Amino acid sequence: MIDQAEAIEQEALQEIAQANDLQALEELRIRHLGKNSRLNHLLRSVGQAPSEDRPRIGQRMNSAKVSIAEALEVRQTYLRAAAPAAVAGPDRSLPGRRPRFGRKHPLTLIREEVIDIFKYMGFSVADGPEVELDYYNFEALNIPKDHPARDTQDTFYIGEDIVLRTHTSPVQIRVMEKEPPPIRVIAPGRVYRHENPDASHAFTFHQCEGLYVDEGVTMAELKGDLTFFARQLFGKDIQVRFRPDFFPFTEPSVEYAFSCIACGGKGCAICKNSGWIEISGAGMVDPAVFGFVGYDPERYTGYAFGMGLDRLAMLKYGIESISLFLENDLRFLKQG
């Protein structure tokens, strides 16, 4: 039976190789692989062979079937290509001429998103220098020269009284010095800390400060406004949590967290199973700060908050290391 199968295979392959049009090829397909093909008849009679031989015979017949099918396919492709084109014009699958297209940096993307949300809420954008006077970075924020809180912000110094700003908070003072209340501003920008970098720390990073001063500003509004922001950026179910914290320029001070944007608070790897993602610090403007800018703390209250733009971008775009932002590997940036 094996000899028979081999003979059929040989014959079929020869015929296929000589077929000159698709029609003839189709006839060959029916003759050699169809229901009534010799190979099929042979296959049905395998049962008559001694049982120990059957697997071997069956295998051989199948391989004959496969090789005939392959030969049909190859010949079909060949005959089609040789046939005159059915349609006019170029090969549509050739690559087109694609102009190059650039990408915004992820920190630009997040900055634009944050600014858009706060502008919608009636905030305007303020700005300040990155090389800053000690007075604005510390002193007027109620962090005098000998305050231990200075140790918590490792600082680059340019001179005795000139620093690289360690936060965007000095913009608060610069704005309040220039203008009377009401104040409703955000100040996105670059800040510096004298730290050795790792996956979540960098010596250069980006913050966005927020400041709202008017008559009757409350902590409940701070919570509400941050909640609104969080929901605009991350989705409608985000909650904001306050925990007590300490900053010399706000009183009361809180550290605020968003309910986990990935798991909704159930606990996952991103929130380290806590259900919350710590964002940054906030609080009610300390009366001492109003003293520095000549606002009447009896008449006005205000809230202030910070947020890390790098961190928000990491959360929003699923970026794993803060070092990627300033490394500028185009293979990373091209994904933007």
Partner 1 sequence: MTGLEVEAVDTVGSQFDGVVIGAVTAVVKHPAADRLSVCTVDLGLERVEIVCGAPNVAAGQRVPVARVGALLPGGMGIKKSKIRGVVSHGMICSEAELGLSDEADGIMVLDPGAPVGASFDTMFGRSETVLSINVGTNRPDCLALTGIAREITAMTRKALRMPPAEVTEAGPAIDDLASVAIADYADCPRFVGRVITGVRIAPSSEWMIRRLESVGIRAINNVVDVTNYVMIELGQPLHAYDLDTLAGHEINVRRAREGATFTTLDGEERPLSAEVLMIADRDREIGVAGVMGGLNTEITEHTTRVFLEGACFDATRVRRGSKYLGLETDASRRFERGMDPELQGRAVARAAQMIAELAGGTLATGMIDVRAPATPSPSVRLRVDRVNALLGTAVSREDMSRYFHALGFSVRQEDDLVVDIPSFRRDITREADLAEEVARLYGYDRIQPTMSSPTPLRLEETQGVARRQREMRQRSKEYTSEHLRESLIGCGFIEVMTHSFAHPSDLKKIQPSHEPVILNNPLSIDLSAMRTTLIVPVLGVVRWNSNRKVRDIRVFEIGRIFVPNSVERLPDEPMQLCFAMTGTRAPVHWSSPPEPVDFFDVKGIAETTLGRFALDNVRSVPYDGELQAFDTDRSAALTVNGEQIGAYGAVSQAVLDHFDIKEPVWLCILDLNDLIQLESTRRTYFTLPKYPAVERDLAVVVPEHVSHQEIVEVIRERCDALLEAIDLFDVYRGQQVPAGKKSMAYALRYRSSERTLTDDEVSSLQAGAIGRLGELYGAELR
Q: Nearest approach, Cβ of 121 to partner 1 (angstroms)? A: 7
From 15-23, 208-216, 265-273, 315-323, span contacting partner 1 (CB under 8 A): 208-216
Site mask for partner 1 (CB under 8 A), range 271-300, x = bound = -------------x-xx-------------
Contacting partner 1 within 84-103 (CB under 8 A)? 94-95, 97-103
CA angle 150, 154, 158 (to 5 degrees): 100
Site of tokens 């904001």: 240
Which residues from 137-176 bind partner 1, rule CB under 8 A?
146-149, 151-152, 156-159, 161-162, 164
Contact range with partner 1 by CB under 8 A, out of 42-50, 71-79, 189-197, 259-267: 189-197
Q: Does 269 bind partner 1 (CB under 8 A)?
A: no
| Closer CB to partner 1, 212 or 234, in the complex | 212
Task: Let me know: does 264 contact 238? Beta carbons within 8 Å.
Answer: no
Q: Binding to partner 1 by residue 122, rule CB under 8 A?
A: yes
Contact call for residue 194 and partner 1 (CB under 8 A): yes
Show contacts with partner 1 in window 236-255 (CB under 8 A).
Answer: 240-246, 248, 251-255
In degrees, rounded to 5, the angle at the alpha carbon of residue 80 between the alpha carbons of residues 79 and 84 is: 105
Size of the site for partner 1 (CB under 8 A): 90
By CB under 8 A, residue 309 contacts partner 1:
no
Is 227 a binding residue for partner 1 by CB under 8 A? The answer is yes
Which of 303, 25, 294, 63 lies closest to 183 in space, CA to CA?
Answer: 303
Q: Shortest gap between Cβ of 191 and partner 1 (angstroms)?
A: 11
Which letter, b or e, does each residue of 112-134 get, where b requires 16 or more Cβ atoms within 10 Å of its Cβ? ebbbebbeeeebeebebeeebbb
Task: Please report how many Cα atoms fall inside a 13 Å half-sphere around the Cα of residue 96, on the Cβ side.
Answer: 4
Determine the Cα–Cα distance for residues 84 and 162; give it in Å rounded to an integer: 79
Q: Stretches 1-9, 81-89, 210-218, 265-273: which one binds partner 1 (CB under 8 A)? A: 210-218
Binding residue for partner 1, selected from 6, 113, 139, 214, defined by CB under 8 A? 214
Q: Which of 209, 226, 134, 206 is nearest to 169 (CA)?
A: 209
Cα-Cα-Cα-Cα dihedral of 273, 274, 277, 279, to 10°?
Answer: -140
User: Which amino acid, one-letter code, is at 245?
Assistant: D
Instruction: Name residue 126's amino acid.
Output: A
- Interacting residues with partner 1 between 51 and 80 (CB under 8 A): none
Closest residue by Cα to residue 32 from 52, 48, 9:
9
Select the residue interacting with partner 1 from 81, 82, 220, 269 (CB under 8 A).
Answer: 220
52 vs 329, which CB is nearer to partner 1? 329
Least distance from C-beta 120 to partner 1, angstroms? 10
